[in-house]
Amino acid sequence: MAAAPTLAERLRAGEKLVSAWSGLTDPMISEMLGRSGFDAVTLDMQHGFHSTESVQRCIGGIALSGRPAIVRVPVGRFDMASRALDMGAEAVIAPMVNSLADARAFAAAMKFPPIGQRSWGPGRAIELSGASESGAYLSSANRGTLSFAMIETREALALLDDILAVDGIDGVFVGPADFSIAWSGGADVDPTLEDMMGAIESIAVRAQKSGKLSAVFAADPSFGRRYHEMGFNLVATAPDTACLAAGAATFLALAKK
């Protein structure tokens, strides 16, 4: 039986995918998100509660659901980016990449030589990826795993083409909440701010022109289709906390009806 296509293969083939978003640290929760039909599950270490240990455990839960895991590391934690790959993540998102130095450091942590300086130790990743042996993993990992640099400030937007040109950066990931704070000069936080949607669309268009991928967080899930139509390859939505709250409220309302 042919192996299922990886996240990288599906995105590069032009599929429009949707990832769920996990901030809660129990592996059953991330497994359930994977079983709900999302194309991937993202574990958030920046604002969610995930730790090194919970990422390690939750990647196992997500693997049980047959889905790929993505990890968002905390700001500047490029060491954790390598560890997330070692633990079997298929993609890593680095927040607040606001300089070329950040982008290069992230790429270096994510890619083995000659592109970067990732250090060898992917035991768990080899098991989960189904690679037959070390050499097979080494030769496929640089292309098979994805690095997404977050664009969520005006500095990052100004540097977009340079960030996209960094060897080892596979794509960019827009954070519309932080972007709205930057866009409004600190006056507002509104990830659906209409006034900035043209700028957000231009990020997807420029990524595509440079042959790289683009992704975006949709706080409002009804933006999913719109973002895909703008050209984004991947939309992340459905935080587990919001799913739980919305599901519980629905049950309660129905029980009282």
DSSP-derived letter for residue 185 is T
Burial of 249 (0-12, 13-18, 19+ CB in 10 A): exposed
Task: Yes or no: say if 116 and 110 are a contact pair by the CB < 8 Å rule.
Answer: yes
Q: Which residues are catalytic?
A: 47
Residue from 64, 115, 138, 177 in contact with ligand 3PY (CB under 6 A): 177
Nearest distance from C-beta of residue 156 to ligand 3PY, angstroms: 11
Q: What x-and-dash track marks residues 89-128 binding ligand 3PY by CB under 6 A?
A: ------x---------------------------------
By beta carbon distance, the residue nearest ligand 3PY is: 175
Three-class SS of 83-130: HHHHCCCCEEEECCCCCHHHHHHHHHHHCCCCCCCCCCCCHHHHHHHC
Query: Candidates 10-18, 153-161, 170-178, 194-202 — which segment interacts with ligand 3PY by CB under 6 A?
Result: 170-178
Partner interacting with residue 201 (select from Mg ion, ligand 3PY, none; CB below 5-8 Å by kind): none
Element (H, E) at 52: helix 52-64
3-state secondary structure of 70: strand
Rounded to whole angstroms, the Cα distance separating 103 from 41 reads 23
Query: Candidates 48-56, 171-179, 227-235, 241-249 — which segment interacts with ligand 3PY by CB under 6 A?
Result: 171-179
191 near ligand 3PY (CB under 6 A)? yes
Write 126-133 long-range contacts (CB < 8 A, 24+): 127/88, 128/59, 128/63, 128/88, 129/6, 129/88, 130/3
Q: Count of residues for the chain?
A: 257
Query: Candidates 61-69, 76-84, 99-107, 173-181 — which segment interacts with ligand 3PY by CB under 6 A?
Result: 173-181
Q: Which residue has the tokens 């957000």?
A: 200
Tell me, by CB under 6 A, how many residues bind ligand 3PY: 8
Q: What is the token pair recorded at 225?
A: 């289709």
Q: List the interface residues with ligand 3PY, window 211-230 (CB under 6 A).
A: 217
Tell me, by CB under 5 A, how many residues bind Mg ion: 3
Q: At what angle do helices 100-110 and 78-86 cross, to 10 degrees?
A: 20
Nearest distance from C-beta of residue 153 to ligand 3PY, angstroms: 10
Partner interacting with residue 23 (select from ligand 3PY, Mg ion, none; CB below 5-8 Å by kind): none
Q: List the interface residues with Mg ion, window 140-179 (CB under 5 A).
A: 152, 175, 178
Nearest distance from C-beta of residue 113 to ligand 3PY, angstroms: 31
Nearest distance from C-beta of residue 214 to Mg ion, angstroms: 15
Q: Which residue has the tokens 């070390």?
A: 134
Residues that bind ligand 3PY (CB under 6 A): 95, 152, 175-178, 191, 217
